Amino acid sequence: MQSAPYGLAPPPNSAESARLVSLDQFRGYTVLGMLLVNFVGSFAVIKTQLPVLAHHHTYCSYADTIMPQFLFAVGFAFRLTFVKRLAAVGAQAAYWHAVRRNLGLLLVAFVVYNVGSKWEKWDDLSQRDVVLLRWAKQDLFQTLGHIAVTSLWVLPVIAARPRVRIAYTVFSGVLHVALSYWFNYRWANTPPNGVDGGPLGFLTWAVPLLIGSLACDLYQSTPNRERLCIRFAFIGAVVAALAYGLSCVHLAPSDMDEWHFNVSVSTAPPPLVFVNVKPPTNDLFTMSQRSGSLTYTLFGAGVALMVLAVFVLACDIGSVRLGVFRTLGSNALAAYIIHGLVYEAVKPFVPRDAPLWYVSIATVVALTICYVLMRSLEKNKLFLKL
């Protein structure tokens, strides 16, 4: 991102921002959604009374829709900026610039995501292995790390024609399913559990990213915004329906299936409706953010298209402009880093078993602090870019 985790946003009032108001507002909404679910998701009362705001890894909740929207926006902006840079400076400079930027983002991820355990004794090699395993499965490969690695993975095709990107999307998804059947599903769901698909999550995070790049093509080729809104909504619904259809296919990983490929088909619980099952489900096609399953990222991409359609309707066809979305969306990388620091300061005062009213007040306090800090950066024209 540029102002977000790789190329998501130019500074406000730029020419691109003026032309792509709906994307700017979409991005800001996504950041605000992230701020909300990242704060409330760990509290017991949310999981019991408002479970759609928490991650459960057994279905796609509202909280689970946020990260695919980030990757979708990354893909949109990546396609837009890379093609322009390619034409302006040539292939070698454009590709090298993209590689440097994403390696820089990966370095930021290494710094931001502190290792959750320590290698304390030089001779204790088992402790070293535990630290490295947790770092690889949980600490590094969170949002920023996944955006960096996924962007590098799709770099060979980001400037290609749509059919090539569609084929690459299918290839990435199928490869992830195959590796998940072989070993990755069990590995990601074995303590220390993986986060957002673990080191191989980039294969399915490529799905919303590349669909975002295709949305960029459609945005540029459809000047009639009413028609664009309808197309985004329709294609998004089709993609989400396809993802749900795939979730009705059931296949256990190889350690349980014994390489028999016993595929069954039955109705799966609908997305966004709480499923009271303890993960893992031992089903490769369950919508699971922890597993980074193909059905989950594909459904998230469909939701992202439909949400963007709403913003095209409200902002491009209408004249809606929300300052909070502008403030957060124009400096998303800063918002991402700042919100972690703010939550570390606020959460010690909020017990995990706190009642809903107390959690609600704490949420307002935490989000307000984030907004005040972000608004101050905006007023002083301070935008964090890579």
Q: Provide the CA 36 distance to its chain's centre, in angstroms.
A: 15
Asked, for residue 343, whether it belongs to a domain, the answer is yes
Q: What is the pLDDT of residues 329-381, one digit of tens each?
A: 999 999 999 999 999 999 999 999 999 999 999 999 999 999 999 999 999 99
Q: Which pLDDT band, with edges at 50, 70 and 90, does 147 fall under?
A: very high
- pLDDT value at residue 15: 45
Per-residue pLDDT for 318 more than 90?
A: yes
Per-residue pLDDT for 265 more than 80?
A: yes
Q: What is the pLDDT of residues 280-313, one digit of tens each?
A: 999 999 999 999 999 999 999 999 999 999 999 9
Q: Which long-range CB contacts under 8 A does 267-276 form with residues at least 24 apart?
A: 268/244, 269/59, 270/59, 270/244, 271/59, 271/60, 271/240, 271/244, 271/299, 272/52, 272/59, 272/60, 272/61, 272/62, 273/59, 274/51, 274/52, 274/56, 274/59, 274/61, 275/56, 275/58, 275/59
Asked, for residue 215, whether it belongs to a domain, the answer is yes
In this prediction, residues 72-95 reach a mean pLDDT of: 97
Q: What is the pLDDT of residues 12-67, one digit of tens each?
A: 444 444 458 999 999 999 999 999 999 999 999 999 999 999 999 999 999 999 99
- pLDDT value at residue 139: 87
The phi and psi torsions of 117 (rounded to 5 degrees) equal -145, 170
C-alpha closest to that of 189 among 292, 296, 42, 290: 290
- pLDDT value at residue 19: 58
Asked, for residue 6, whether it belongs to a domain, the answer is no
Q: Which domain holds residue 185?
A: 15-379
Cβ(72)–Cβ(209) below 8 Å: yes
Q: Which pLDDT band, with edges at 50, 70 and 90, does 275 fall under?
A: confident
Instruction: State the DSSP code for 269.
Output: P
Asked, for residue 384, whether it belongs to a domain, the answer is no
- The tally of domains found in the chain comes to 1
Asked, for residue 370, whether it belongs to a domain, the answer is yes
Asked, for residue 132, whether it belongs to a domain, the answer is yes
Residue % of the chain over a pLDDT of 70: 95
Q: How many residues would you count in the chain?
A: 386
Asked, for residue 30, whether it belongs to a domain, the answer is yes
- pLDDT value at residue 300: 98
Record the tokens describing residue 315, joined without a space. Answer: 């902002």
Q: What distance in Å separates the CA atoms of residue 153 and residue 150, rounded to the nearest whole number? A: 5
Asked, for residue 10, whether it belongs to a domain, the answer is no
